[in-house]
Amino acid sequence: MSEFKIRVESTDDFFVRARRAAKRIDSGDYGVQEFGLSFVTPQLLFELLNANRWQLLSVLRGHGPWSIRALAGALGRDYKAVHTDATKLIEAGLIERDEKGLISVPWTKITAELGEEAA
């Protein structure tokens, strides 16, 4: 896979991007696929991507497919806490679980845009 973009943007900006994407698709342009999440406030972003979850992503990206138990050991954290964090990241699309139950980060790049514009 490729890049996963995380944005903090207004609802209006989100819908502007969605309309552009719909127009591209309607015109038959299926070449550019964008994967990501949008949040309306930085606080909502940081609820999902707290320090422990960001560390989990970093360690997992460097290792490849891993069991949650092995990942918890590598992180020096409780299994249940790592399981909870991994589940949240799976639900958000940032990590995947394979048929063997191993988890991995499918993205070559994860970027975050936290732009703030003056009114």
List the chain pLDDT tens, one digit each, 119 residues: 588 999 998 878 777 877 887 888 888 887 767 788 889 889 999 999 999 999 999 999 989 899 999 999 999 999 999 999 999 999 999 999 999 999 999 999 999 887 765 45
Whole-model pTM: value is 0.80
Place of tokens 């589940």: 87
What's the full length of the chain, in residues? 119
Quick one: which of 118, 93, 90 has its CA closest to 5?
93
Give all domains of the chain, ordered by start, each with its CATH number.
Answer: 3-113 (1.10.10.10)
CA dist., res. 3 & res. 30, Å (int): 16
Across 1-119, where does the E strand assignment appear? 3-8, 35-39, 96-97, 103-104, 109-113
Quick one: which of 35, 37, 60 has its CA closest to 49?
37
